Amino acid sequence: MAKVALETKKIMIKEITSRLNNAETLIVTRYKGLSAQDINELRKELKKITGEYMVVKDSMAKLALKDGSNNRIAEFIQGEVGIIMYKNDPGIISKMIVKFSKDHEPFKIYGGFSSGEILTNQDIAAIASLPSREVLLTKLANVLNSPIQGLAASLNGIICKLAYALNAVKEKKEKQ
């Protein structure tokens, strides 16, 4: 019986390790005090943006993180935790999680890992307050485009002034 339990734990750790290593962004949370309905609501919201929420015991999570590239988040794992896994832009997931934590008081964000960097709960809140990636790219495009627009307007003004001057010379000659 003990041998079966040990093998089952090894398989579970292998599965958890695989899931954690496939995610670009990991956020460690405390779910104690949330109802099953609240956790299911969180999972539904995460599923909409291709995220995943996994509840795991601390010992299993620490064993799974031991050999991975994101092992530095082990310091955030205290007791039973929920780990959010996401493969894309950390801004989207941060906004969603911060909003969820405001709506559900017992839910706490401990910290996370994204793009090789450790994120504290303050970092995650700061990322959530930033505009989306698309908005930032639009602003960058406008900044890059404004000098060109200014040059075009200046050149257009010079051409218009030349046209007015030529028209004035033409009218003056016609009056003579």
* Three-state secondary structure readout of the chain: CHHHHHHHHHHHHHHHHHHHHHCCEEEEEECCCCCHHHHHHHHHHHHHCCCEEEEECHHHHHHHHCCCCCHHHHHHCCCCEEEEEECCCHHHHHHHHHHHHHHCCCCEEEEEEECCEEEEHHHHHHHHHCCCHHHHHHHHHHHHHHHHHHHHHHHHHHHHHHHHHHHHHHHHHHHC
Looking at the fold, whether 62 and 124 belong to one and the same domain comes out as yes
Number of domains observed in the structure of the chain: 2
Domain containing 176 equals 131-176
Residues of the chain with pLDDT under 50: none
pLDDT tens-digit map of 41-86:
989 988 888 888 988 888 888 887 776 656 667 778 887 788 888 8
Looking at the fold, whether 7 and 19 belong to one and the same domain comes out as yes
Looking at the fold, whether 70 and 113 belong to one and the same domain comes out as yes
Looking at the fold, whether 126 and 139 belong to one and the same domain comes out as no
Query: What pLDDT score was predicted for residue 155?
Result: 82
